[in-house]
Each structure stands twice: as C-alpha cells, then as structure tokens.
Structure 1
Amino acid sequence: MTDATLKDAAVGRRLSLPRIPVSVAIAAGWIIAMLLVAILAEKIAPYGFTQLDLRNRAAPGNVAHWLGTDELGRDVLSRLLVSIRISLLIAFGATAISAVVGTLLGFLAAHFRGIVEQFVLMLADFQASMPFLILALAVLAFFGNSLTLLVGLMGLFGWERYARIARGLAISANAQGYAAAVRQLGAMPSRIYLRHILPNIASTLIVSTTLVFPEVILLESGLSFLGLGVQPPMTSLGNMVGYGREYLTRAPWIMLAPATTIVVTTLSVSVIGDWLRDRLDPTLQ
C-alpha cells in the first residue's frame, strides 16, 4: 500500500468522524465537571458543609468564602459541592431504577402478550395520568423522609416511557429473523431479551434516559423545596433553594448558586439528549 493510499484512508477516517457541536461539547464538559465534583466533594470543599461561622452570617463572597455564607454562617460553596453529590446520587439512582423496572415490564408485555400485556399497559396509563408530584407528596408525608425512600419513590417516575418503548421495540425485534433464529436454537427467553434484543434497542433507551434524568433532578429539587425531600443536616440543590428563598432580597447568593447549578445541569443533559436522538435516529441520517 502506497503512502498516498494511506494518506487518503486517514483523511477518509477523519471525515467520517462525527462532528460534535460546540453546545454539546460544552454540555458534556459541564456534566463531566459535575461528576468530578460529586466524587471529590468532601476533598475539595474548603469547609465542612455544616460548619458554622456566626461572625460572617449571610455575608457576600469574599476571600474566605468565595460564594458567601448562608443565614447560619455556613460556607455556600462547601454546601453546594455536597449538594451536587446528593442530587446527582438521587438522580442517577432513580433513573437507573426507572429504566430497569420499565424495560423489564416492557419485555414481559412483549413476551407474554395477552392479559400480561394489557395489565402492563393499564399500569402505564395509570402512571401517566396521575400527577406524580401529588403522589410523592402523599407517600413522603405518610411514611416519613429518608434518602432510601426518596430514591425508591422517584425511581417509579417515568418507568412507563421505558415500558412502552421496550415493549414496542421488543415486539418488532421478535418479528425479525435474528430473534427467531436464536429462539429456534433453544435459547432461553431471558437470554434472547438480555443478550440479543436489549443491545439492539439500547440506543433508544439511552436517549430516553437523557430525557428522564433532568426531570428527576427537577422533581427532587421541587420536593426538597417543599420540605419533603432531603432533610437537614443533609443538603441538596433543592434544599438549598428552599432555604435560600427566605433571604432572596437580603442574601440572594444563597439561592442563586444552587438554582443556577440546577438550570445549567438540566439544560446540559437535555442538549446531549437532543444530540444523541438526532445521531441515533436512522430516519434523520
């Protein structure tokens, strides 16, 4: 193979690489930064998130406290870093539960059809028709607040989307040749769905995950804002916004820092989700 041929092949590979828009690159950078902050929160926080400084209560940003302090003299930056960890932990946990539950129910509906399918679709319609925030408020008010209960409860948010998508795609895959061929070879249904069908529909489910993830963040923020989410002394982004609203006119930095983080994070995930949808949708190629 000549040098010219190698050069042409290299140029072809460069031209075939997907061009990532600037907005998507910025959004991905922000998400990566948030993940690093969540992992290293306790190490990079300048103070303990419950440490008090009564001499500097509700003080604006300065050399000692870059983002200022709250009404009790706690460092806003330190609390913001820990809040990012807790909010992302809840969002990732709830999204994972929602995706697993919805996908499994969708596979069950596609495999058994008949009564099982109608039952799953009925549950999905019931879930979609009921305002989830009201249901969450009722459950948390009755059973009390705990981080485990909060993650499990929000894991039930959005599962019907995964169930409908997984059911439709699984039915379509069962009608294709590869699933029938594997079935004729004697493979178990679990192997067919998890090893053969799931990888082929994973791209669509990933796009759905990027749509549910920001909604979970906003839902957690809303519950914490109403006082039924993360409870003190633990903190989250919504918790900080809820406490900071009372000092919006006197110390706006208490609320603006977590509110800005919520907006930018949800916007970044949405931008990445829109880009993935356009890239993975064969009808748009």
Structure 2
Amino acid sequence: MATAELGQARTVRMANGRTPRLLQTVPPLVSLGILWLLTMVVVAVFADHMRPYNITAMDLTSRLSAPGSSKHWLGTDELGRDVLSRLIQSIRLSLIIAFGATLLSAVFGTLLGFAAARFRGAVEHVVLVLADFQAALPFLIMSLAVLAFFGSSMVLLVCLMGFYGWERYARIARGLAIAAGAQGYAAAVVHLGATPTRVYLRHILPNVASTLIVSMTLTFPEIILMESGLSFLGLGVQPPETSLGNMVGFGREYLTRAPWIMLAPATVIMLTTLSISLAGDWLRDKLDPTVS
C-alpha cells in the first residue's frame, strides 16, 4: 500500500513538473553541445593514437591539396602537412592551455575572495582594489607586452592566461563566503572548534562550488579565444607546436587559394566556444535555486 502511494506521489510530482531540475530532459541543442565537448575531450586524450601523420611530416608533392582525398581527409597546408593531424594536435594543446588557465584563475581568485571575507578590513580593501585594477586593465595588450618581452613558452602562456578573469571568482567567492558565514552552520562548526581553514574548505566551499563552476564555464571559452588571438598574432604557441589560433594565423595567407587550412580550426573554435556557452547557461539555470 505504501509503495503504491509512493508511486502515485512520484507521478503527481512529475505531472506538476516538480522533479529535480538536473533530472529533467536536457534540451536538444544543449545535448549536441555536450556531445561535441565530449568528442573534443576524447580527441585531446587520444590525440597520439588518432593522428594519421606526424604534425611536422611534409609531403611536398601534395602541397595545398584539397580535402576529400584518401590520404588527407582535410587536405594539406602550404608545406604539405596533413591538416587533420595538425587539427587533432591543436585541439589537445588549446584545451590543455584553456583548462589549466581556467583552473589556475579559479583557484587564485577563490582564495583571494575567501581571504577578503575572512580578514575583512585592509585585506578586503586590497583585494577589491586589485580586482578593480584587473577589470580595468586591457588584458590582451598586457599579454602582448609580456610575451613580446619575455618570449613565449607553454608555462608562461598558461600562467598568463590564468590571471585572466580571476577578479570574477574573487568577487563571487567573497560575497558568497560572507553570506555563508552569516548563516548558522558556519557559526556552529566554529563553536565546535573548527579552524578557519576547515570552515572555508570543508563547509563554505562546497556550498558555493556550484556558482564557481558555472563561472568557470563562462571563463573557459574566453580563454580559448584569448589564446587563439595571441597565437594568431604570433605570440602564442610557437612552431613546431600548433594550436587552433596558430593554424588560423598561418592559414590566413592562403584564404583564397586554400581556405580549408583556416576554416577547419576556425570551425572548431566556434563550435567549442558555443558548446561551452550553451552548457554553461543550462548548468547555471539548473543550479540556480531561484529558478523553479
């Protein structure tokens, strides 16, 4: 009897549209975006096994070959290098840079935001001033100056990209931490003898993590575009390595004769950033407690 009543209650909740938001049907467009992102991750992980050729292997007899041949599905570039092989490697490198930079930015900004909420006073004032300075700074121009002066390297590029957008995480973490600190559970664990570090990392952080994760989905495509722009200008990833922006930069000189060199990576950039934006918007709606 109890089982039947429970089943009826679940049916009523489903009819009223009150099932958990994360269990509801994913919109078709978002599903396609998530599928594309999963495909990109698989390509990045298994790039070494999926590349038909080495990215530096040249076939001068097949220079600027059009897509569709059995040897080169996406054609070749000006040196006879396989575009598909270089595209697969570019996806891996661009995703590594974007993921590492996004994670660095999120950790750095969240720690500063928690420090501002914990100490308040002068510390909070300094963090907010730095956040305002970062928001007002033309990041692309600063990146060009740093890379032109110190030279381009993978570590420097990831660290530089990691400072992009940290002020967003700092502001969000500060505001959420102050709000969470005013609630009863934070005060309760303090009275039980928990240290401030434990309070923030074990109790406050899990309660604000959903908002920070959504912010990461918004920063991730911006970093991809930023890296692509720097590589397009010749100050990002340097040959013989290749990235999506690097391929677009080299392919622009052959846009009229061999447009596939530039269009392939440009399409991947567009679809990837669009997919992340769609997934981020959907995730934000599902994790927002104010949306029914």
Shared fold (TM-score greater than 0.5)?
Answer: yes
CA distance 1:178–1:4, shift in 2 (3 Å): closer
Is residue 218 of structure 2 the alignment partner of residue 215 of structure 1? no
Code of the aligned partner of 1:210: T
In the aligned structure 2, how far is the partner of 1:41 from the partner of 1:220?
20
In structure 2, the residue matched to 1:267 is 274
* Counterparts of 2:110 and 2:12, CA distance in 1: 38
Q: 2:48 aligns with which of 42, 45, 55?
A: 42
Amino acid at match of 2:242: T
Partner residue of 1:176 out of 183, 193, 205 = 183
Say which of 29, 34, 41 aligns to 1:28: 34
For residues 110-259 of structure 1, the aligned pairs below 5 Å read 110-259=117-266
Identity %: 68
Runs of at least 4 residues of structure 1 off by over 2 A?
Answer: 1-17
Unaligned runs of 5+ in 2: none
User: Structure 1 length normalisation: TM-score?
Assistant: 0.97
108 and 259 in structure 1: CA distance in 2 versus 1, 3 angstrom threshold = same
Most deviating of 2-11 and 24-33: 2-11
Aligned partner of 1:56 in structure 2 is 62
Query: Per the alignment, in what secondary structure is the counterpart of residue 164 of structure 2?
Result: coil
Q: How much has 1:63 moved relative to structure 2? A: 1.3
The residue matched to 1:227 in structure 2 has which SS? coil
Distance 1:74 1:66 in 2: 12
Secondary structure of the equivalent of 2:26?
A: coil
Structure 1 residue 120: deviation in Å?
A: 0.2
**Structure 1's 73 and 115: CA in aligned 2 closer, same or farther, altered over 3 A?**
same
> Alpha-carbon deviation of 1:126?
0.3
Aligned-partner residue type, residue 92 of structure 1: F
For residues 240-261 of structure 1, give each alpha carbon's deviation from its aligned partner in whole angstroms, at most 9, with x where no partner exists. 0000000000000000000000
Q: Which runs of 5+ in 1 are unaligned?
A: none
CA positional deviation for 1:186: 1.1
The equivalent of 2:72 in structure 1 is 65
Distance in 2 between residues matched to 1:65 and 1:176, nearest whole Å: 61
Deviations 1:39-89 (CA, angstroms, capped at 9, x unpaired): 011101111111100000011011110000000000000000000000000
Partners of 2:7 and 2:193 lie apart in 1 by 48
CA distance in structure 1 between the aligned counterparts of 2:173 and 2:71, rounded to whole angstroms: 52
CA RMSD of aligned residues (A): 1.4
Q: Mean Cα displacement is larger for which, 55-64 or 90-99?
A: 55-64
Residues 212-246 of structure 1: CA deviation (Å, up to 9, x unaligned): 00000000000000000000000000000000000
User: Distance in 2 between the 1:119 and 1:12 partners?
Assistant: 53
Offset at 1:8? 3.9
Q: 2: CA distance between counterparts of 1:250 and 1:233? A: 23
- For residue 263 of structure 1, give the secondary structure of its aligned residue in structure 2: helix
User: Is the counterpart of residue 281 in structure 1 residue 288 in structure 2?
Assistant: yes
1:12, 1:60 → 2: CA distance?
58
Alignment partners' CA distance in 2, 1:38 and 1:13: 41
C-alpha distance in 1 between matches for 2:128 and 2:201: 21
Equivalent position SS for 1:204: helix
